[in-house]
Chain A
Amino acid sequence: MFSGYDFDVIQRSLPYLFRDGMTFTVTLTLLAMTGGIVFGTLLAMMRLSSFAPFSLVAGSYVNLMRSLPLVLVIFWFFFLVPYIGGWIVGAPRPIAVGAFWSAVITFTMFEAAYYCEIMRAGIQSIPRGQVAAGQALGLNYWQTMGHVILPQAFRNMLPVLLTQTIILFQDTSLVYVISATDFLGAAAKIANRDYRLVEMYTFVAAVYFVISFALSALVKRLQSRMAIVQ
């Protein structure tokens, strides 16, 4: 099975795969995670708001994103962002947005819907009495949320948020459809140039496996430690 396997092509392309490809993947994952959790938490607060228009808008947004395939959303934003950008700066034609920033915006907006549902469950896991206690102490809405509810909700949901981030890390490989050079994209370019598909794709699968497996083992440990604390 390994008789015609060319380990050399992997070794030669390591710098390109990791310096260009993996840097793209990791940066995209971290930016989208940060943006997604912030935006997702705001969406969760809107969804739980007693002001009907807020919960309606947030609810529709989350349901829309969760009903669409990520690939379709990537295409939408890839073509939409240049138009919206042009509209914001008042340019007469769509502005050029690189694949990277297009991907960052797409994944932030898409994952926010999933982070929102997690944060919503987190906020709802806090007893309502704590909101009342905050109000009785004279805290306003933002103070109650920022100092009392969200820190606990965030802690309770940390394992699920991290698991979602591992999924996000794997999903970033879909930027392949807009020809971005992420880890998979870099490998695909070499695979096609040198006609070394077997080597490159098995290597990519192994690297994704090792990283995701290690991260999910960490999350599992975190989860069991938290179970003791609770």
Chain B
Amino acid sequence: MRYNWDWSIYFQRASDGSGTWLHYLFVGLAWTLATALAAWVIALVVGSIVGTLRTTPSKWIVRLGNAYVEIFRNIPLLVQMFLWFFVLPELLPKGLGDAVKQIPPPWGSYLPAVLSLGIYTSVRVAEQVRAGIQSLPRGQRMAGTALGLTLPQNYRFVLLPMAFRIILPPLTSEFLNIIKNSSVALTIGLLELTGRARAMQEFSFKVFEAFAAATVIYLVTNMIVVVLMRALERRVRVPGFIGTTAKAPQAGH
């Protein structure tokens, strides 16, 4: 039982003729990062808004926020991606739906991938933002009100600046998750890093070299993100506050 390793495969020409296999994989990394970053913008913006709304005094806004979270948390990411990719164009008015279907590759897969990944992650960001705001001592909100701040001012100047600093460590792991989860986009035809490793395995028959390279690239990317985020955490730290919520064990990826 033996497997013939051939590490020179990385420097042979890729089947799409664009360069070596190594280059082919790094283009995949670029797509992974482009997907993850664009989705992260959606996740952060939508997640912050929904998370904040869920801590407001208005009952109906909280319910609406809860409904949003429950819907997008309880459907698997892969199914959500299929909904955006296959189902949405059919439900749109005919002209618009046809236009969506005719978006040329790879953008035709990239856009649904970014949307589904962004919305899926926004739910998890919303949970963190809500937990961060609720972990603040009650006196802070009261102090803001006593100073005569309106509700939006209170959030803008007191609650959110504190909450975001506190939840920076869990947000880091959500960002790592979004990089990993972008690999699901290979199912709708986006050739990101995992998709390209799979394609390399199919065309070069070098199974383990292909996946080993992808593994190493993911690990290094992970490490770089962690180092950068630690530096950011140190820069924005409020003395005595970071690390109060990060200890609780959480289920997730």
Q: Which residues of A contact B (CB under 8 A)?
A: 1, 64, 67-72, 75-76, 79-80, 83, 86-87, 90-94, 114, 117-118, 121-122, 157, 160-161, 163-164, 166-167, 170-171, 173-174, 176-177, 184, 188, 191, 197-198, 201-202, 204-205, 208-209, 212-213, 216
Whether A72 and B79, one on each chain, are in contact in the complex, defined by CB atoms closer than 8 angstroms, is no
Whether A205 and B86, one on each chain, are in contact in the complex, defined by CB atoms closer than 8 angstroms, is no
Closest CB in chain B relative to A109 CB, distance in Å:
14
In the bound complex, residues from chain A placing their C-beta under 8 Å from that of B231 are none
Given contacts A72-B218, A121-B249, A198-B91, contact A205 B207 (CB under 8 A): no
Q: For chain B residues 161-210, which have a beta carbon within 8 Å of chain A?
A: 176, 180-184, 186-187, 194, 197-198, 201, 207-208
Interface window among B45-53, B57-65, B67-75: B67-75
24 contacts between A and B (CB under 8 A): A67-B218, A67-B222, A69-B181, A69-B194, A69-B218, A75-B198, A79-B207, A80-B208, A87-B1, A91-B1, A92-B1, A114-B252, A157-B249, A160-B249, A174-B78, A174-B184, A177-B187, A188-B82, A191-B86, A198-B87, A201-B86, A201-B87, A213-B74, A216-B74
Whether A79 and B208, one on each chain, are in contact in the complex, defined by CB atoms closer than 8 angstroms, is yes
Choose from B1, B83, B182, B251 the contact partner of A118 (Cβ within 8 Å): B251
Whether B186 and A71, one on each chain, are in contact in the complex, defined by CB atoms closer than 8 angstroms, is yes
In angstroms, Cα B232 to Cα A129, docked, is 38
In angstroms, Cα B201 to Cα A122, docked, is 41
Given contacts A69-B194, A201-B83, contact A160 B251 (CB under 8 A): yes
Q: For chain B residues 81-115, which have a beta carbon within 8 Å of chain A?
A: 82-83, 86-87, 90-91
Q: A67-B218, A173-B78 are in contact. List 12 more A-B contacts (CB 8 A).
A: A69-B194, A70-B183, A71-B186, A75-B198, A91-B1, A167-B253, A170-B75, A174-B78, A198-B87, A201-B79, A209-B74, A213-B74
In the bound complex, residues from chain A placing their C-beta under 8 Å from that of B75 are 170, 205, 208-209, 212
Task: Give chain B's interface secondary structure class.
Answer: helix
In angstroms, Cα B179 to Cα A133, docked, is 45
Which of A68, A86, A213, A216 lies at the interface centre, i.e. has the most chain B CB atoms within 10 A of its CB? A68
Whether B1 and A209, one on each chain, are in contact in the complex, defined by CB atoms closer than 8 angstroms, is no
Task: Give chain A's interface secondary structure class.
Answer: helix
In angstroms, Cα B76 to Cα A56, docked, is 33
In angstroms, Cα B252 to Cα A68, docked, is 14
Choose from A176, A191, A213 the contact partner of B70 (Cβ within 8 Å): A213
Whether B183 and A1, one on each chain, are in contact in the complex, defined by CB atoms closer than 8 angstroms, is no
Closest CB in chain B relative to A21 CB, distance in Å:
13
In angstroms, Cα B3 to Cα A87, docked, is 11
In angstroms, Cα B1 to Cα A87, docked, is 6
Q: Is B219 an interface residue (CB 8 A)?
A: yes
Choose from A122, A202, A216 the contact partner of B87 (Cβ within 8 Å): A202
In the bound complex, residues from chain B placing their C-beta under 8 Å from that of A80 are 208
Given contacts A122-B249, A197-B90, contact A205 B197 (CB under 8 A): no
Given contacts A75-B198, A197-B90, A198-B91, contact A204 B79 (CB under 8 A): yes
Whether A176 and B253, one on each chain, are in contact in the complex, defined by CB atoms closer than 8 angstroms, is no
Q: Is B18 an interface residue (CB 8 A)?
A: no
In the bound complex, residues from chain B placing their C-beta under 8 Å from that of A197 are 82, 86-87, 90
Whether A90 and B253, one on each chain, are in contact in the complex, defined by CB atoms closer than 8 angstroms, is no
Tell me the nearest residue of chain B to A170, going by C-beta.
Answer: B76
In angstroms, Cα B84 to Cα A48, docked, is 44
Closest CB in chain A relative to B185 CB, distance in Å:
9
Whether B184 and A71, one on each chain, are in contact in the complex, defined by CB atoms closer than 8 angstroms, is yes
In angstroms, Cα B211 to Cα A216, docked, is 35
Whether A75 and B197, one on each chain, are in contact in the complex, defined by CB atoms closer than 8 angstroms, is yes
In angstroms, Cα B76 to Cα A173, docked, is 7
Tell me the nearest residue of chain A to B70, going by C-beta.
Answer: A213
Whether B207 and A167, one on each chain, are in contact in the complex, defined by CB atoms closer than 8 angstroms, is no
Choose from B83, B198, B222, B252 the contact partner of A167 (Cβ within 8 Å): B252
Closest CB in chain B relative to A67 CB, distance in Å:
5
| A-B interface, 9 closest residue pairs, ranked by CB to CB distance from nearest | A121-B249, A212-B74, A69-B183, A163-B251, A164-B251, A170-B76, A69-B180, A71-B183, A173-B76
Which of B186, B194, B218 lies at the interface centre, i.e. has the most chain A CB atoms within 10 A of its CB? B194
